[in-house]
Amino acid sequence: MTGVLRLGQVSLGTLAAFLEACAAHPSADIEEVARFADFNTRTAKSALTSLETLGLAKQDGNGVWRATAPGVARGMSSESATLVIRHALQGFRPFEALCEGLALGEDAATASRKAALALGLDAASSEKLAILLRWGADLGILEHGDDGLRLRPELQASAALGVPLLSVADLESEAGARLYNARQLGRDANSYLDEIDRKLLADALLAYDIKPRDSVENTGQAVEDFLREIAGNNGLASEAGKLNGIGQLANLLYSKAVIHNHHQKLADAVSTMRNASAHRKDKKTMTPWTITPLAAFSVHSTALTAIHSIHQHTTSGRQIL
């Protein structure tokens, strides 16, 4: 996060209109894009800036505004456009940070204040978190209660789940999966991960019961990415670049005293399951391993434990499992 949040005071309907305009009539002329969307230039600037911030549109090398989200086309239904925007918002770190606070029982003001501090937002950007809260309510991710804005009850329940095993029905959506992961990882470790790896872990959780092999691979990739990031932040990027997989990276970090040997063993456990899942035939038995939902969920839980523990150890010296 750069400290600046570039969002405009526009509605979801306005965002959808300009998203369609960028897909159906891309142009470097903002006035032309505005005419296609049937809004004025001032609104166009706010909407396009917001879409760019959410990763839904951008200017190419020639300054032409184009939609970057897949599946966006002229004449798309309002429901389809809403789903595209909802998906982007759920993966947008400032909004995710707000939801994490609400999941912990904070009111909107407190969640906004803590999110702004955690993300290093300047004063003007901190005030714009209110726009994200409004969009979240309009999209049905948040709702108004007697004590102000809050997560929808089913998402609140997903975030608080701490049972050993849960069903996809318990999570219901990517938003629920992200909140569950955030709750287990803690704010700092979850913020340390980039959007690619937060998405991998959410997808892994949603898939563990129906596609356990895919779940294990997504979890393993997120852990590998995390270990590479840890290596880079400890001056080991060059050495890590020559290594393949979780096991080799964990061994490097342990040999350089960056992580504890317990961390190495946690990483090896994820690596072992990932390797068994990836190889259709075992090298010794020439028979493939069957990956069960329990195994996939166990790998995911071990990965969350490893990421949280390693992050705590490398940032504050704490030993926590």
pLDDT at 171 over 60: no
Specify whether 152 is located in the same domain as 176. Answer: no
Q: What CATH number does residue 133 fall under? A: 1.10.10
Quote the pTM value. 0.65
**Long-range contacts, stretch 205-211, CB < 8 angstroms, 24+ apart:** 205/171, 205/177, 205/180, 205/181, 205/300, 206/168, 206/171, 206/174, 206/177, 207/296, 208/168, 208/293, 208/296, 208/297, 208/300, 209/167, 209/168, 209/293, 209/296, 209/297, 210/168
Q: Which of residues 88, 107, 140 is at a domain's end?
A: 88
Asked whether residue 3 is assigned to any structural domain, the reply reads no
State the average pLDDT over residues 13-37: 94
CB within 8 Å of 29: residues ≥ 6 apart: none
Give the chain's domain count. 3
C-alpha distances out from residue 5 to 49, 74, 117, Å: 10, 28, 13
Asked whether residue 60 is assigned to any structural domain, the reply reads yes
Asked whether residue 321 is assigned to any structural domain, the reply reads no
Q: Which of residues 65, 88, 111 is at a domain's end?
A: 88
Specify whether 169 is located in the same domain as 310. Answer: yes
Specify whether 41 is located in the same domain as 142. Answer: no
Asked whether residue 1 is assigned to any structural domain, the reply reads no
Lowest mean pLDDT among 156-170, 177-191, 205-219, 238-252: 156-170
Specify whether 143 is located in the same domain as 200. Answer: no
Specify whether 273 is located in the same domain as 293. Answer: yes
Specify whether 200 is located in the same domain as 252. Answer: yes
Asked whether residue 2 is assigned to any structural domain, the reply reads no
Which of the pair, 148 or 217, is modelled with greater confidence? 217
Q: Which of residues 126, 157, 188 is at a domain's end?
A: 157
Residue 307 corresponds to which tokens in the numbers above? 């990421």
Specify whether 82 is located in the same domain as 220. Answer: no
Q: Which domain holds residue 304?
A: 163-316
Specify whether 232 is located in the same domain as 296. Answer: yes
Q: Mind listing the pLDDT tens digit for each residue in 64-85? A: 999 998 878 888 888 888 889 9
Q: Mind listing the pLDDT tens digit for each residue in 252-308? A: 999 999 999 999 999 999 999 999 988 777 778 888 889 999 999 999 999 999 999
Asked whether residue 183 is assigned to any structural domain, the reply reads yes
